[in-house]
Amino acid sequence: MTEDGTPIAYSALEKGVPVVSRSGHCFGTVERVLEVPAEDIFHGIVVATAAGLRFVDRDHVERITTSQVNCALTDEQAAALPAASADPDEGPGQRPKKPWFAPWTFAGPVVIVRCMRGGLFETVWIPLVSFKALRLGPLRIQRCPVHRRLEVVQPVDPATLSDAERAEAARYPAEPIP
């Protein structure tokens, strides 16, 4: 056993284990693991910090041991993590209720769009097809769930978004109708 503990699987991770940044600074403790046990899918962890519950995506978890979770985050990134709900089934920072890796609904591809007021949300986007929106070339006019009104929206490349922005968009999952 090393000073950092024995490596373990995410499924063996317990509440209260310290979570550290790349520099070794402890920024919180494990509150719970976000997973789909039946499919052996690890989404990330919810961390209890001084600023409240925060979501750490699995892509930022480098190593899990019996004594700590090492993250590939700078101290600044750790301080800016998206908030997570105390309720495991809702809130920002949580994965959408549909599988996060499924880029399609039964109606078509799901994309992240931004309204002209800056709101991010998911929607089904099929070129030349729309039942709940007016098409304007590469733009659409449709109801923005963030602002609860009709807005002009356009697709956003998810690679250009931060983890917090993707988590914000996931708070408003796509409806099955394009």
**Would you state the pLDDT for residue 176?**
66
The pLDDT assigned to 89 comes to 53
Q: Do the beta carbons of residue 91 and residue 52 sit within 8 Å? A: no
Helix residue ranges per DSSP H, 66-118: 75-79
pLDDT given for residue 88 in this prediction: 55
Averaged over successive runs of 10 residues, the pLDDT of the chain (178 residues) comes to 76 93 95 80 89 90 94 92 68 41 52 91 78 76 90 87 85 74
Q: Which domains does the chain have, with CATH numbers?
A: 10-79 (2.30.30.240), 110-170 (no CATH)
What is the pLDDT at residue 159? Answer: 81
- Please check whether residue 146 is in contact with residue 172, taking contact to mean a CB–CB distance below 8 angstroms: yes
**The pLDDT value given to residue 124:** 83
CA distances 73 to 1, 17, 31, 124, 126, Å, are 25, 17, 18, 32, 36
Looking at the whole model, is its pTM more than 0.85? no
